Chain A
Amino acid sequence: MNPQPRAVDAEIIDELQQLVVEVSAGEVVPNPADTGPDSIRRLGLNSVTTLSFMVAVEDSFGIEWDDDVSSEVLAGFAAMAAYVRTQSRATV
């Protein structure tokens, strides 16, 4: 039986937050409990760090961002985790 989306997303969120720490060279450490809408936006990543984060997500999860991915997906960890889960399935 496949794990429930919520459990999968929690693991993805954890990895996403680790990636933020890595791409910001430890300057930005997300709060594990803050995963809702705008939780990424509130971190204050600049445009270059945001792009580095997107590249790191692609590399870590083996996905490709759609060119028209919504700003909501990029703004919050939970929304991004759900997107990553869906894209991962699509590329399997």
Chain B
Amino acid sequence: MGAPADPVPAVGGIAELLAAAARTWAGRPAVSDHRVTVPYDELWSQVRECADWIRGAGLPAPLILVPSNTAHDVVAIFAAIVAGACPLIADRTWTATELDHVRRSTGAGAVLGRAEVQPPGVTPVVPTWRGLAIGSWDDDPGRPAADLDGIAFGRFSSGTTGGSRCLGFTQTAAVAAAAAWRSAARLSVQDTVLCLATLNNGLAFNTSLLAVLGAGARLVLHAGRPIPSSIARVVRTVRPTVLVAFPFAFDALTKDDRLERGALRLAVSSAAALPEPTQLRWTERTGLGICDYYGLVETGPVTFNDGSVPGSVGYPLPGSEVVIDADPTRPGRVLVRTPSMAARYLDGRPPALADSVTTEGFYRTGDLGFIDRHGHLTLSGRVGTVVNVAGRKIDPAEVSAVIRSVPGVRDVLVRGERPPTGEILAAYVEGSGVTREAVVRACRLGLADYKLPQRIVIRPVLPRSASGKVAAARLAEISEPAPSEPATRGAR
């Protein structure tokens, strides 16, 4: 039986989209992981079954959803939305401390995720469903739930003032984001999208969930690590037409003999600048460019680049607008208006999202960029202090706060630095009797792995300006190990 080639219309909510997809593409494969393939009709059936299970737990919204990369986690995300549970879609690498911060700031009382990785202090409230568990925290921090009026789900930004911030979205925003990406990437029933990014991340969320399922394409989730040997195995097996991955994977793949283009027609990376040699090697090996995805949690996907304009993140997606707040041909702050913008922050912390939106509805990003005469946007830097390490954004203030908690630390400055190998996070610590091991231990307890600083310099005194602030410009002078402390930077 030939399947209709037209995508389902981008109207209504997520339930309507999934129901229409089930009717249209019934037995075709929708989502695969290393264990199962779920066809479209079964996906919708499982979403409804899982939604009933979530409702049966009888817990108030919102709940924190910690997805792994399996087909059942895709079901859980949609089911929690359909059930009205307002899932706040968290990062599975977050520590218990980070999850605790989220529940205290949003009023979430429960967590949904794989049964074997439930955080400490959480007790299951209902029997598991296909390996998923819902648990509630044993204590009540007493914060009322965020204002969820009209909000279907939450996603997290890195924040800029210490700790992740949760943004609330409507179903309309999610469906609009998916439709825009599907149209630009020309996704169809012919496509198999291999996604190596985790489902909470914008790269996966905006390019590989509803966008794929609204097109009748097949989504393949990769449970292994994004290293060439593992990727090569899955590429040989599933023959993807679209590969979605972070820059590390592309960089590693281009250095590996096992790279095969196969059926690949589109390669999507996140907007961490890919080194030019990586792009060139990739094109040489595959004949394809790399599509640098530009999107923000606050706005959803913004631009699309088919890979034909090196260094650019492309042109605005359908319905989106990008302007530069000064002369557009010279680097200035990038302002963005999309149909997939977040409604508001759900954590009650200042500043409010509205404070970053102009009266015309443009979100003032923290990115600098310019637009060429063909309308292509190129990013050239950042306004704020947020550090982008291989596509993951990190707020230095959050890392500083954790390091300050180490006994003996008097002051700390955390920032991004750019050695030839790519941007890294560096921590300059002033203190007495402070060891690298103690700093690492504190970071491991309080921060996800991707936030760990890779350059840790500990000194009794940091250079300071006349006003007494740490002199950032003079930190390079002390970044080499001191002669009397041969292993200060290392772990000995």
Binding site for B on A (CB under 8 A): 24-31, 34, 41-52, 54-55, 58, 64-65, 67
Q: Are B252 and A44 in contact (CB under 8 A)?
A: no
Q: Are B227 and A55 in contact (CB under 8 A)?
A: yes
Residues of chain A within 8 A of B454, CB atoms compared? 24, 27-28, 44-46, 49
Provide the bound-state CA to CA distance between A77 and B451, in Å.
23
Provide the bound-state CA to CA distance between A69 and B119, in Å.
22
Residues of chain A within 8 A of B437, CB atoms compared? 42
B234 to A, closest residue via Cβ? A67
Within the complex, the shortest CB–CB distance from A58 to chain B, in Å, comes to: 6
Flag whether B376 is at the interface (Cβ < 8 A): no
- In-complex Cβ contact of B227 among A25, A43, A54 (8 A): A54
6 closest A-B pairs by CB: A29-B490, A44-B440, A67-B224, A46-B452, A64-B229, A47-B449
Q: List 29 A-B contacts (CB under 8 A).
A: A25-B421, A26-B489, A27-B424, A28-B454, A28-B490, A29-B487, A29-B490, A29-B491, A29-B492, A30-B490, A34-B491, A41-B444, A44-B436, A44-B440, A44-B443, A44-B456, A46-B449, A46-B451, A46-B454, A47-B93, A47-B392, A47-B450, A49-B454, A51-B252, A55-B227, A65-B227, A67-B223, A67-B225, A67-B233
Provide the bound-state CA to CA distance between A25 and B456, in Å.
13
Q: Are B225 and A48 in contact (CB under 8 A)?
A: no
Provide the bound-state CA to CA distance between A65 and B229, in Å.
7
Instruction: Contacts A51-B252, A54-B225, A65-B227 given; indicate if A30 touches B491 (C-beta within 8 A).
Output: yes
**How many residues of chain B are within 8 Å of chain A by beta carbon?**
41
Instruction: Contacts A28-B491, A30-B491, A31-B492 given; indicate if A46 touches B389 (C-beta within 8 A).
Output: yes
Within the complex, the shortest CB–CB distance from B174 to chain A, in Å, comes to: 27
Q: Are A48 and B456 in contact (CB under 8 A)?
A: no
Provide the bound-state CA to CA distance between A26 and B224, in Å.
28
Provide the bound-state CA to CA distance between A64 and B229, in Å.
6
Main secondary structure of the interface of A (DSSP, over half): loop
Within the complex, the shortest CB–CB distance from A16 to chain B, in Å, comes to: 14
Instruction: Contacts A64-B229, A67-B223 given; indicate if A29 touches B450 (C-beta within 8 A).
Output: no
A48 to B, closest residue via Cβ? B390
Q: Are A58 and B449 in contact (CB under 8 A)?
A: no
Within the complex, the shortest CB–CB distance from A62 to chain B, in Å, comes to: 11
Flag whether B129 is at the interface (Cβ < 8 A): no
Flag whether B248 is at the interface (Cβ < 8 A): yes
Residues of chain A within 8 A of B233, CB atoms compared? 67
Chain A CB within 10 Å — which of B437, B441, B452, B489 has the most? B452
